[in-house]
Amino acid sequence: MSSAEPTEAGRGEQAGPAVREPGRAPRPAAPVPSPLPGLAESARLLADATTTSTALVADALARIEATQPTLNAFRHLRAVAALAEAAEADRRLAAGERLPLLGVPVAVKDDTDVAGLPTHFGCDGERPPVASDSEAVRRLRAAGAVVVGKTNSCELGQWPFTEGTAFGATRNPWNTAHTPGGSSGGSAAAVAAGLVPAALGSDGAGSVRIPAAWTHLVGIKPQRGRISVHPHSDPFQGLTVNGPLARTVADAALLLDAVAGAHPEDFHRPPAVRAADAARRDPGRLRIALAWRPPLTLTGAGPDPEVRRAVTALADTLARLGHHVEEARPRYGLIGLAFVPRATVGIAEFAARHPEPALLDPRTRAALRTGTRLGGRVVRAARAREVRQHRRIGALFDASGFDVLLTPTTAAPPPRIGRFDDLSAWRTDVAMAAACPYAWPWNVLGWPGVNVPAGFTRSGLPVGAQLLGPSRSEERLIALAAQLEDDRRWFEHRPPV
């Protein structure tokens, strides 16, 4: 069965598993169509009748099919259903209807419910198709988008790589010997390779920003509650949010606007922002703190020299653009003592729902045991510390007067595929903390951050930098990212076909 061949999946949806069947050799890759235009450009072309949704969706499906043997970005496709929805979008466009994303193909991560498809969240085993869309997908459809499929995630989103026995390894379009990162690695690989104009991911410890950094994309981790996580109420004890990945700031902002908003049952309901407007706005002259030292992880990790070189060059660009850039040290304290219980309890909550626990990775089962021990009073105490953490780390903005914090997104360039194979749970955690020590504190705080491309290593691997802000500061971060993009024009660089 090819990855794009449909099978019945309930509620009339057509879905095909995008992993090859065990024991079958992969087919030779088909010729790869040209990359799709970006999100805003696709919407413009459709509104101008320069192209059709059917053509864009068919091109996306063809490109996914052609690259699946090498990139392996998708877990499930909606080939028949997506083409039917594209035909309907073309009828609506011809009748004069206009919506922000009417007819534009997009993808969502494998942790996100799409009616008629199973939600495996990177796990092995069989799952029934879900009956209803998540709130984020409902909003995507309301904006007119066509969801072409679900992208690969590592098991329960735990790791900064997208590999697993359930689907194999998802590979980086810039160099297929390396990971695109995780856990939103499938979404990042799909966007970087031009399979879709943009995609949704989720970020519980950097899982949007890390793969964005390692695939040369813009990735937005919004304020907690900005994008609904319903049908979940507070996943991973409040650490996880949904967020967009795109090649440009404008595209990421457009997708953020399309999916932002609360479900009536959501806990967190921040006031609305206008991300697309912010992407067209001058940020003004800002005070930017540059921090090299990560929070305490007991690994002694610091940035790789090539990461430091790239982020230094980006800081120099910010200074040239008129901003005041100054090295500073945020007071992270022992924030890891709050992160670990929340993360492991979150893993335990998801793992406990798996119908066949024996199929879970041994490292997942170890996290389940740890999370079970740290539940109840321990995790409640960890969450109660968040207010004090806001005050302590927020002093960088309130008392010291900085507007934005700039750090590397990761300490290392993207690792090679298989780097984490056969490691114990403890050794995997140590290796992750050394490679990715910078992103996760902002998940504890619930505050927004934006990854921007910072450049490439000498061997051509992408690296990124984070623009981090206090509560509800997405518009400032997006405006600053757009100003950087105008200067550095990172969207002109694409990976090899």
Coil, strand or helix at 237: helix
39 contacts 220 by C-beta, under 8 angstroms? no
93 contacts 126 by C-beta, under 8 angstroms? no
Q: What residues pair up with 246 in beta bridges, in sequence order? A: 198, 218
Write down the pLDDT at residue 453: 98
pLDDT bucket at 35, cuts 50 / 70 / 90: confident
Write down the pLDDT at residue 15: 40
Note the helical H segments in 279-418: 305-320, 336-351, 362-373, 377-384, 386-398
Q: Could you give phi then psi for residue 426, rounded to 5 degrees? A: -65, -45
Is 2 a residue whose pLDDT tops 90?
no
Mean pLDDT of the chain, nearest integer: 93
Got the DSSP string for 252-283? HHHHHHHHBB--TT-S--PPP--HHHHTTS--
Strands (E) in 130-212, as ranges, are: 146-151, 163-164, 168-169, 198-203
130 contacts 118 by C-beta, under 8 angstroms? yes
Q: What residues pair up with 404 in beta bridges, in sequence order? A: 288
What are the pLDDT digits (tens) for 450-480? 999 999 999 999 999 999 999 999 999 999 9
**Helix 249-259, helix 39-47: angle, nearest 10:** 70
pLDDT bucket at 29, cuts 50 / 70 / 90: low
383 contacts 238 by C-beta, under 8 angstroms? yes
What are the pLDDT digits (tens) for 273-299? 999 999 999 999 999 999 999 998 877
Write down the pLDDT at residue 296: 84
Q: What residue type is assigned to position 170 of the chain?
A: T
Q: What residues pair up with 405 in beta bridges, in sequence order? A: 289, 468
Is 442 a residue whose pLDDT tops 90?
yes
Spatial distance between the Cα atoms of 104 and 424, rounded to a whole number of angstroms: 42
Strands (E) in 394-482, as ranges, are: 404-408, 449-456, 462-468
Q: Report the chain's terminal Cα–Cα distance, integer Å.
A: 24
Q: Count Cβ atoms below 10 Å from residue 135 Cβ, excluding itself.
A: 24
Q: What residues pair up with 220 in beta bridges, in sequence order? A: 450
Spatial distance between the Cα atoms of 108 and 122, rounded to a whole number of angstroms: 13
C-alpha closest to that of 41 among 28, 29, 54, 50: 50
What are the pLDDT digits (tens) for 230-277? 999 999 999 999 999 999 999 999 999 999 999 999 999 999 999 999
Note the helical H segments in 48-95: 53-67, 79-94
Is pTM, for the whole model, over 0.75? yes
Question: Which residues are catalytic, by number?
Answer: 109, 183, 207
Is 179 a residue whose pLDDT tops 80?
yes
pLDDT bucket at 343, cuts 50 / 70 / 90: very high
Q: What percent of the chain has a predicted confidence (pLDDT) above 70?
A: 93
Is 417 a residue whose pLDDT tops 90?
yes
Write down the pLDDT at residue 31: 66
Spatial distance between the Cα atoms of 497 and 487, rounded to a whole number of angstroms: 26
pLDDT bucket at 69, cuts 50 / 70 / 90: very high
Write down the pLDDT at residue 300: 77
Spatial distance between the Cα atoms of 255 and 135, rounded to a whole number of angstroms: 14
Q: Count Cβ atoms below 10 Å from residue 7 Cβ, excluding itself.
A: 12
Is 22 a residue whose pLDDT tops 90?
no
66 contacts 108 by C-beta, under 8 angstroms? no
Q: What residue type is assigned to position 254 of the chain?
A: L
